[in-house]
Chains A and B, each alone.
Chain A
Amino acid sequence: MYVLSAIASLATLGLVLGWLLAIAAKYLKVESNPIVEELEALMPGSQCGQCGFPGCRPAAQAIANGEAPITVCPPGGSALAEQFAALLGVSIDLSNFEEPEFLIAKVSEDTCTGCTRCFKVCPTDAIVGAAKQIHAVVADACTGCQKCIAVCPTECLQMHKPEVTLRNWRWQKPLPEPVGAPA
């Protein structure tokens, strides 16, 4: 019988404390800076950590506090920086901004052992496969966060340039010729 009473009392205690926590969460909620929310909403949200912050929200906070430049997000590139600039009402000079190279993960079929570690860490489910089957990366879903690279035991995952097709082929920017050079 002692066991039953112990279970009952502990369960009651748990319920009461949980209820208190719920009340506290509702009435003592910490209001966060709305600009941080807006910044975070623009970000890719894959929590990849390429910016050096532990996730998108801390990076957004750093931008809002002026501790990080608006060009901090590598996957977002200059397009995201322009959106940030518009949101924050600051002007930016992107003429010297070097667009970070976008790379996606690719599985080398020769060395993949089908260990399933990579697709467990992929934040966008961009890797498909099953145990002891060769895995593959869905290029359209890969964000280039490199989380899978870190866990692959055989280094069969490597970052590659995305394949150029008629769908994503673009004109290159004209190379600036030296102005005033003799004809």
Chain B
Amino acid sequence: MISLMQSFRIRGGVHPDPRKTATTDLSISSDFPLPKKLYIPLQQHVGKPAEPVVRVGDYVYKGQLLAHSQGMISAPVHAPSSGIISDIADYPAPHPSALPIRTVFMETDGKDVWQLLKPPTDPFGLSAEEISLRVGAAGVVGMGGATFPAAVKLNLGRKNKISTLLINGGECEPYLTCDDRLMQESADGIIDGIRIMLHGMETPQAIVGIEDNKPAAFRAMKKAAADFRQIEVRQVPTHYPMGWDRQLIRYLTGKEVPADGRATDVGVLMHNVATAYAIHKAIRHNRPLVDRVVTIAGGAAGSPGNIWVPIGTLISELLDFCRVDRPRMARLVMGGPMMGDALPIAELPVVKATSGILALTQDEITRGSEQACIRCARCISACPAGLLPVDMANRIRSNQLESAVDIGLKDCISCGSCSYVCPSNIPLVHYFKYAAGELAARQQAQHKSEQTKKLIEERNKRIERIEKQKAEEAARELAAKVAKYSADQAEQVL
């Protein structure tokens, strides 16, 4: 009965073919050879880019700080191995545009020596503030792909007096199994990370949500959490997008996050299991975030699997390691197939957000040609945010962006459920992404026009001031001349 009640709590969503079997039974491999060169972008997180503290030619140890965070929302970057900094310059970013981003180039020496590590710390002897500080200094960001600095989120949780911490072990994207394997193999570390987070946020309880297609991970986590009454491990239905924080919050706590609000408004915060593990490593073992588990899968991958990969490794090297058949690879995707980004080239670095690398074949990406909308309303029932995708797309098509915003464009999370179910192959999410970008561009233009007005005002003031000065000077000169002249005249009269 309870489960029936809860199933009403799931709104929209789809059931894509999971395609996880290729990698779900393979343990995480640590055999990936250390690359000779690493390319470490200075912005791998939401917020301001990190500022380098090393110089070209410096020798750095593994885990040494390469660039410190700047500003309130930012994260530092650390050396993923030991070696020499060969350059700090622009390099293509792992982004659909592959436009350049400031990057630290590193030549590894093959020794992979850690910097002097402090002995393991007891996290529960530290104050809550100290935990956030250390998590921030270790460069931990949301590992599910959102890359929001974890320390900022911990502080947010503490300030808002969060009642429940949710841990997302959903991994609802097809193909990806990195979180699943991490939970199976390192459940104790994840649970320890969750306890540290609870301590750092001063939050009484945590709920871990794991989709019911990962029974082994559920059992491992349940066992690891058995001694800790404040941590509850629960199964959630396999349903895309279960990993969306609002969906999981609604299902597990029954609370609805308001449209223009945040999860903290209902006293909840969500972190990913991989983030919990990174925090465990950062606090317990004083190891900054320098590597992560990446799922390499897809039809073109000869030996798919989950691999511990140093940040900054070129994706092309991973493809070679997993014997990807390049001619058969029709599309390279970073992240999951539903929300990931297609990459134009493979010579791009793995970053903190890289949960998966998919080498997809033509069969896996083929879609039919676009047809006219038949008003079946399947996109409306699939939308987890309760929006009207067809209506929004029509308005965007006719350039009425403001009216698309009126019916909830800003609540769209680009999960792709609508495009997935559309029988007419209308690229709905593409419209929403375009519109979101266009609105951002307009906001920038608006900001620029305000700045322009200020600049014009300043310039006019300056010109006025200069003219006034000139006039005053001329008046003074004239007065001096007049005084001199009248004095001369007076002399003559006398």
Contact = CB atoms under 8 A, between A and B. Distances in A.
B433 interface: yes
Interface stretch (A29-37, A59-67, A152-160, A166-174): A166-174
Given A125-B458, A165-B99, A140 B448 contact: yes
Interface residues of B, number: 46
A170 B440 contact: yes
A1 to B, nearest CB: 7
Interface string B439-460: 0111011101101110110110
Contact of B456 (A46, A94, A95): A46
B437 interface: yes
A164 B99 CA distance: 8
B452 A125 contact: no
Contacts, number: 100
B195 to A, nearest CB: 37
A183 interface: yes
A69 interface: no
B342 to A, nearest CB: 12
B97 A169 contact: yes
A3 B402 contact: no
Nearest to B403: A82
Contact of B452 (A143, A173, A182): A143
B343 to A, nearest CB: 14
A45 interface: yes
B27 interface: no
B321 interface: no
Given A3-B486, A179-B372, A124 B400 contact: no
Nearest to A77: B445
Contacts of B451: 140-141
A116 B431 CA distance: 46
Interface stretch (B28-36, B51-59, B69-77, B363-371): B363-371
A55 B368 CA distance: 51
B397 interface: yes
B366 to A, nearest CB: 11
A170 B438 contact: yes
A43 B370 CA distance: 40
B20 interface: no
A177 interface: yes
A110 to B, nearest CB: 24
B458 A7 contact: no
A180 interface: yes
Interface in A1-35: 1, 3-4, 7
Given A125-B455, A166-B93, A183-B369, 20 more contacts: A4-B486, A44-B453, A95-B399, A123-B455, A125-B459, A140-B448, A141-B451, A141-B455, A166-B95, A166-B100, A168-B441, A168-B444, A170-B434, A170-B441, A171-B434, A173-B438, A174-B430, A174-B431, A177-B370, A181-B369
Interface of A: 1, 3-4, 7, 44-46, 76-79, 82, 86, 93-95, 97, 123-126, 140-141, 143, 164-166, 168-174, 176-177, 179-183
17 contacts: A3-B486, A7-B482, A45-B449, A79-B446, A82-B402, A93-B398, A94-B399, A124-B452, A125-B455, A169-B97, A171-B430, A171-B433, A171-B437, A174-B434, A177-B370, A180-B372, A182-B369
